[in-house]
Amino acid sequence: MRAFHAELYKLFSLPGIWLACCIGALAPALIAVLDSIAQKADIIAGVSIRLPEAGYIGLAVGVQGVIILGVLAVSSEYWTESNESGGGQQIATSLTAVSSRPHFLLAKAGAVTVVSILLCIVAMTMVVSATYLILGEHTPEFEWPKLIGAACYWAFTALLAFGITFLTKNGIFPLALLMINSSFVSFSFLLSKVTKLALYLPDRAGVDMFMSLSESILSPFMGGLVMFAWVAVLIAASIIVFHKRDVAS
Comparing 124-133, 155-164, 166-175, which segment has the lowest mean pLDDT?
166-175
pLDDT at residue 87, as a whole number: 54
pLDDT at residue 211, as a whole number: 87
Helix (H, G, I), strand (E, B) or coil at 46: coil
Average pLDDT, the chain: 86
pLDDT tens for residues 17-35?
Answer: 999 999 999 999 999 999 8
State yes or no: pLDDT of 53 exceeds 80: no
Helix (H), strand (E) counts: the chain: 11, 0
Q: Where are the alpha helices (DSSP H) in 139-219?
A: 144-168, 172-183, 187-192, 202-207
Q: How far is CA 221 from CA 124, 125, 199, 217, in A?
A: 20, 23, 14, 12
What is the C-alpha separation between 180 and 144, in angstroms, rounded? 29
pLDDT at residue 43, as a whole number: 78
Helix (H, G, I), strand (E, B) or coil at 89: strand
pTM of the model: 0.91
Whether 183 contacts 64, CB under 8 Å: yes
pLDDT at residue 226, as a whole number: 96
Average pLDDT over every residue of 114-137: 93
Among 207, 216, 220, smallest CA distance to 56 is for 207
Confidence at 2, pLDDT banded by 50, 70, 90: confident
Comparing 2-16, 42-56, 67-81, 112-126, which segment has the lowest mean pLDDT?
42-56
pLDDT at residue 57, as a whole number: 87
What is the C-alpha separation between 95 and 77, in angstroms, rounded? 10
